[in-house]
Amino acid sequence: MAKTDDTIENRVYLFESLASSYVASAYEMLSSDDEQTRQRATRALAELAYVSCVVADTQDLTPEQVRERVLGSLEREQPPEAGAKRGKRR
């Protein structure tokens, strides 16, 4: 799907709205001294950007279809469980 000026504008508007609310509520996490906390907060901003793009790019889909598209992509990106990283103990 080609990106139109309207689609790009919608992406920016949606992200600006979502991100400003998130930054206001997660300010402490975003400025934390703990690197993992900052990374989680930054990851949440990235997810908001992704959702903004999906919503703006799928104007022809129903809300349910957009929801499935967002949730499906998040499930594919889940990191492996901690136990799956390690080899079997002998």
Q: Mean pLDDT of successive 10-residue segments in the chain (90 residues)?
A: 74 92 95 96 93 89 91 68 44
Residue with tokens 């996490």: 29
Q: Is the pTM of this model over 0.75?
A: no
Considering the domain boundaries, does residue 42 fall inside one?
yes
Q: How many domains does the chain have?
A: 1
Coil, helix or strand at residue 3? coil
Cβ atoms within 10 Å of 71's Cβ, excluding its own:
10
Query: What is the per-residue pLDDT for 25?
Result: 95
On whether residue 88 sits in a domain, the answer given is no
Does 85 reside within a domain?
no
DSSP string for residues in 10-68: HHHHHHHHHHHHHHHHSHHHHT-S-HHHHHHHHHHHHHHHHHHHHHHHTTTS-HHHHHH
The answer to whether residue 82 sits within a structural domain is: no
Look up the domain containing 63 and give its range. 5-75
Distance (Å, rounded) from C-alpha 76 to C-alpha 36?
Answer: 22
Mean model confidence pLDDT for the chain:
82
